[in-house]
Amino acid sequence: MAVLGYIIRLAYFLKERSIWGDELWTISVSDLGWRDMFVAVFNDVHPPLAFVFYKLFHYQVVPFISGLVCLWLITKITKDRLIWLIFSISPYFLQLGGEARGYGLLLMFSLMAIKWSWAFPLASLTEHYGLFVVLWTKWKKWMWIVVGASLCLIAYQTKTEQAFAPNRGFDWSLMSCTKKLVGLFLQFGGGVGYSFLTKQQAIGLSVWNKLLIVSSLLSMGFLPWARDKRMWKMLVIPIGVLFLLYPIRLNARYIPFCAVAYLFLVVDGYRRMPWRGKHILMTVYICANLLSLGWMFTIKTDPYHREDYITAVKMVNAYAKQNDGVLYNPLAEFYKVKHPEYNGGVWWETYQGNPDLDTNIKHWNLKLIELKKSTYSTERISDLVWVICYE
């Protein structure tokens, strides 16, 4: 089972995949000098360790290696082959091992902390959510120093970033928080392609896609029979804290240790469940993961943000003429969009859009006025990326 996981991760590492905005930020900050990098990180909302790794190693190598190590750690933590199988094929865990962010490293250090307490500081230095790892590692007195230092850094960065300012979108409401909670378990269950859908997008899904969503959530049916108290604590407490106090971060990427706890509880509940039809339920759930996994290999983006700048840049480079202009986009710059010398031709834009198409149309109409053009044409490259030609 583990060998299958290694093969899947190697294949995902080798496939072409466009980065998205936060990945570019990670890469850009890591490319700064050491002093400038630490200044940038301490004035953001992340601890510094992940950026150190990205500075020392290639942005694709770090998550890939962390994914392989996580798979190896799972085989050391448990001998349950069903857990190995689901972990190996889970689109959620595969995504963590492919994204140039700190969350794959957080998962790796969190799993290490189950066996070795010394890994706890590494988790808390990778992402602040790593503090929750104290719930499943052996407590040592020296950890008070780590917790205290982490809380001080959180307080400083929260103030610097004005994290709870009214315009930052941290307002609590039952409807939005419940939606996030459902999306959280949808991601844990493998339905990563559906977790960020708007209401309109969800309604517009085909019956087949809606069945896949239901199949991804089927694993929750095993939870009532799960008895692993440590894993229950690891699942419920972080989610409860974020749900009540910090709902905008109620997303599976930030709490990968909860996904591990969820997986252990699902398998524990499956083993204890008295219903004879449980094998059918588990088979459907595994098939849903496999189908979602297969879909991930057909797209050129990550499954969450779906921003394909590789194709967009190729299109602009193919069609932009010498007297055309290209509107600046740092993500397009990453893939070396060429800059024709503007001399009265058309303007091209690689546009990161909004799921709400009406919002995009308003932006494009305003751009016409700004650029003094009369019309525009659009080419949708992926769910959230367009190439716009202003003529």
What is the C-alpha separation between 53 and 105, in angstroms, rounded?
9
pLDDT at 167: 62
Tell me the per-residue pLDDT of 190-213, one tens digit each, with 9 for 90 and over.
Answer: 988 887 777 777 777 888 888 888
Nearest Cα to Cα of residue 60 among 122, 8, 108, 18 = 18
pLDDT at 148: 96
Residue 339's pLDDT band, with cuts at 50, 70 and 90, is confident
pLDDT at 166 over 70: no
Tell me the per-residue pLDDT of 106-117, one tens digit each, with 9 for 90 and over.
Answer: 999 999 999 999
pLDDT at 168: 63
Q: Do the Cβ atoms of 238 and 53 come closer than 8 Å?
A: no
pLDDT at 59 over 80: yes
The pairing of strands 325-326 and 347-352 is parallel
Q: Do the Cβ atoms of 69 and 108 come closer than 8 Å?
A: yes
Lowest pLDDT segment from 146-150, 284-288, 350-354: 350-354
H helices of 78-142, where?
Answer: 81-89, 91-96, 103-115, 120-126
Q: Do the Cβ atoms of 358 and 339 come closer than 8 Å?
A: no
pLDDT, average across residues 235-258: 92
pLDDT at 169: 59
Instruction: Give the residue extent of every domain in the chain.
Output: 2-296, 309-390
> What mean pLDDT is reported for the chain?
91
pLDDT at 200: 73
What is the C-alpha separation between 385 and 352, in angstroms, rounded?
5
Q: How much is the pTM? A: 0.92
What is the C-alpha separation between 224 and 356, in angstroms, rounded?
38
Lowest pLDDT segment from 33-42, 144-153, 186-195: 186-195
Tell me the per-residue pLDDT of 67-84, one tens digit each, with 9 for 90 and over.
Answer: 999 999 999 999 999 999
Tell me the per-residue pLDDT of 146-159, one tens digit each, with 9 for 90 and over.
Answer: 999 999 999 998 88
- Tokens representing residue 333 in the block: 């710059």
